[in-house]
C-alpha cells in the first residue's frame, strides 16, 4: 500500500488507479472493516489526524478530482464530501523520497511521464505535495519503509 504525499499530477494512469484502490482499502481499514493492514505504516498519519475517516475521505476526493481531469470514471459514492480543513504535516525529505521512488517506477513503466515530471521539477526546482499535506523541514518519516 502506498498513499502518496506528493501531488497527484505526478502519477501516471496506472499509479492513479492503484492509489484509488489502495485508498479505498485504507478507508476500510480505518473503519475497522478488515482483518489485515491494521498496522500498516502508511496509515499512521491518517490515524493521527483529528478525524481519520474525514481525512481519508478528503484524500479520496482529491484522487477523484484528479481522475476527472483524466476522464476516468471513479465512483464518487465511495467517499463522503467533507469540509476537512486540517493539513497533515509531512517532512520535506519524505516528499523528496516519494518523488524519487515514483520516478524510479516511472522510468521503467512510463518513460514519457518520467520525463514530464523531470522537466516539471527542473522548471520549479520544487516538488509539490498533495493538498492534504503541509510540508515542513525534516527527514524521511519514521514510518517509511526504505
> Each residue of 36-86: pLDDT tens digit?
777 788 999 999 999 999 999 999 999 999 999 999 999 999 999 888 888
Angle in degrees, CA 6, 18, 136, rounded to 5: 15
What confidence score (pLDDT) does residue 75 get?
A: 94
Query: Is the pLDDT confidence value at 1 over 80?
Result: no
Is residue 3 in some structural domain?
no
pLDDT band at 122 (very low <50, low <70, confident <90, very high): confident
Is residue 2 in some structural domain?
no
Is residue 146 in some structural domain?
no
Q: Coil, helix or strand for 129?
A: strand
Is residue 87 in some structural domain?
yes
What confidence score (pLDDT) does residue 115 get?
A: 97
Query: Is the pLDDT confidence value at 21 over 80?
Result: yes
pTM of the predicted protein model: 0.93
Indicate the burial class of 68 (C-beta count within 10 angstroms; 0-12, 13-18, 19 or more): exposed
Indicate the burial class of 27 (C-beta count within 10 angstroms; 0-12, 13-18, 19 or more): buried
Give how many domains the chain has, as a whole number.
Answer: 1
Is residue 1 in some structural domain?
no
Is residue 141 in some structural domain?
no
Mean pLDDT, rounded, for 109-135: 92
Query: Of 18-22, 39-43, 107-111, 136-140, which range is least confident?
Result: 39-43
Is residue 121 in some structural domain?
yes
CB–CB of 38/29 below 8 Å? yes
* Residue 140 CB coordination number (10 Å): 15
Query: Is the pLDDT confidence value at 145 over 90?
Result: no
Tell me which residue range forms the domain holding 106. 8-136
Residue reference for cell 504535516: 89
Amino acid at each position: 500500500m502506498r498513499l502518496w504525499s506528493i501531488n497527484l499530477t505526478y502519477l501516471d494512469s496506472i499509479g492513479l488507479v492503484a492509489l484509488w484502490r489502495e485508498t479505498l482499502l485504507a478507508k476500510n481499514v480505518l473503519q475497522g472493516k478488515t482483518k489485515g493492514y491494521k498496522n500498516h505504516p502508511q496509515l499512521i498519519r491518517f490515524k493521527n489526524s483529528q478525524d481519520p475517516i474525514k481525512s481519508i475521505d478528503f484524500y479520496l476526493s482529491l484522487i477523484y478530482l484528479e481522475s476527472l481531469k483524466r476522464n476516468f470514471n471513479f465512483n464518487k459514492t465511495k467517499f463522503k464530501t467533507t469540509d476537512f480543513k486540517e493539513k497533515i504535516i509531512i517532512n520535506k525529505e519524505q516528499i523528496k523520497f516519494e518523488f524519487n521512488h515514483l520516478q524510479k517506477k516511472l522510468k521503467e513503466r512510463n518513460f514519457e511521464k518520467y520525463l514530464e515530471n523531470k522537466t516539471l521539477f527542473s522548471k520549479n526546482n520544487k516538488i509539490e505535495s498533495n493538498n492534504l499535506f503541509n510540508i515542513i523541514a525534516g527527514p524521511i518519516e519514521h514510518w517509511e519503509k526504505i
